[in-house]
Amino acid sequence: MAQDTRGAAPPATSAAASSARAPPLGSAAAGPEPPGPGAGGDARPGALGERSGAVCGPGPSADGCVSPAGEAQEALQERYRMGSLLGRGGFGSVFSGTRLADGAPVAIKCVPRDRIQHWGELVSEWGQRPADGIVLLAQPDGARAPLEIVLLDKVSSGCAGVIQLLEWVELPNSFLLVLERPERCQDLSAVLAERRFLPEEEARGLFRQVLDAVRHCTSCGVLHRDIKPENILLDLATGQLKLIDFGCGTFLQDAAYTQFAGTLSYSPPEWIYHQRYHGEAATIWSLGLLLYHLVTGKHPFRRGQETIWGRILFPRRLSQECQDIIKRCLSMQPLDRPSLQDLFHHPWLQGVRLP
């Protein structure tokens, strides 16, 4: 139960990123891992809001001509320079990049078309022109896009704690997503690898930021489904967190989900025992695991390659309030876990100073 069932390794955006040679912008560079289960039957079509800066790349026309996609790729090459490989997984590869207009760092995610399992419907307008002067290559209403793009567009504005999709383009064999990337950043797994664990006060501020990001996604009708240290990016200059990688995400629903997507070692017990889970309860479980990981540097139930349910052991240095919020989130029964709103009112999270 230690493996990531979708096979997609999140980008490691630390300064020690891989120096692998980058392919030409627009090539379908995918990792060797086989794609795992995605959103299954839980995902349903959604609308892509009209957001400034999102490039909706046109696909092949009815007669098979792909010249619009070629034009879109050329336009993207004129705006960005691709750098080294940051991460690779079953859903594609992520490269560092630079926006040529101002030198801003970006991440460029290349997703081969044959790795895309779930799609959503676009709703866009012709002729929209964002503030930075980039002309949107918009599609008519009803056109399809990968579900990850639809979800990212829904959550990319209105919350600094969620990674922003700057633009995307469809090519004949792949999709390119251009995402914001702090200049000096690490995912939390890299931070923990260096420091083993975080002091409680520092973890408290970071955890509160994660809650804000999750609340924003929920308000947008999006369920991330893979909250873990590898999918949380820390801006080393500002202390600002970014929730990244919506490749396992889906639309939020009241009914139980019967298909799993994410990392099995972060899955709730109701999935293991009953093969079903509700979105909020599973999210709270993953948040409890995340917080325990931040303050101890390890998984509470992992013993080697196995996950063994049992009593949660805490270091003596942790406050009773910190222990209490973790124990509540990791209640074996979903109905015993607090709601997301309950967490915001927990005494441990009061008076947190945010960046």
Of 80-89, 219-228, 331-340, the one with minimum mean pLDDT is 80-89
Element (H, E) at 165: strand 165-170
Please report the pLDDT score of residue 65 as a whole number. Answer: 43
Structure tokens at 143: 């056109």
Dihedrals φ, ψ of 241, to 5°?
A: -95, 155
**Nearest of 98, 117, 82 to residue 8 by alpha carbon:** 117
**Partners of 96 in beta bridges:** 107
Residues 6+ positions from 202 with CB-CB distance below 8 Å: none
Higher pLDDT, 57 or 224: 224
DSSP letter at 277 equals B
pLDDT category of residue 330 using cuts at 50, 70 and 90: very high
Tokens describing residue 115: 């790795």
Q: What is the pLDDT of residue 213?
A: 98
Q: Domain segments of the chain: what residues? A: 44-180, 185-349
Helices (H), 232-278: 269-274
Task: Report the predicted TM-score, pTM, of the whole model to 2 decimal places.
Answer: 0.78
Element (H, E) at 304: none
CATH number given to 44-180? 3.30.200.20
Provide the pLDDT for residue 122: 61
Fold: same for 44-180 and 185-349: no
Which helix (H) or strand (E) segment is 94 a member of?
Answer: strand 92-99
**pLDDT of res. 304:** 72
Residue 92 has a pLDDT of 83
Report yes or no: 98 and 79 within 8 Å, Cβ to Cβ: no
Pairing status of strand 241-243 against strand 306-307: unpaired
89 DSSP 8-state letter? E
Angle at 189 between CA 186 and CA 191, to 5 degrees: 55
DSSP H or E segment with residue 222: strand 222-223
Q: How does residue 19 score in pLDDT terms, banded at 50, 70 and 90? A: very low
> Is the pLDDT assigned to residue 77 strictly greater than 80?
yes
Confidence check: pLDDT of 30 > 90: no
Task: Give the active site residues.
Answer: 226
Share of the chain above pLDDT 70, in %: 73
Asked whether the beta carbons of 349 and 208 are under 8 A apart, the reply is yes
- pLDDT over 90 percentage in the chain: 63
Domain 185-349 in this protein, CATH class:
mainly alpha
User: pLDDT grade, residue 351 (50/70/90)?
Assistant: very high
Question: Which neighbouring-strand residues pair with 302?
Answer: 307
For residue 37, give the H/E element and its range. none
**Which residues have CB under 8 Å from 141's CB, separation 6+?**
121, 122, 123, 124
Average of per-residue pLDDT across 130-135: 35
What pLDDT is recorded for position 107? 96
Q: State the residue for tokens 């873990």.
A: 228
pLDDT digits (tens, 9 = 90+) for 253-266: 999 999 999 999 99
> Of 140-144, 152-156, 319-323, which gets the smallest average pLDDT?
140-144
Q: Please check the confidence at residue 33 and state whether its pLDDT lies above 50.
A: no
The pLDDT confidence band at residue 45, using thresholds 50, 70 and 90, is very low
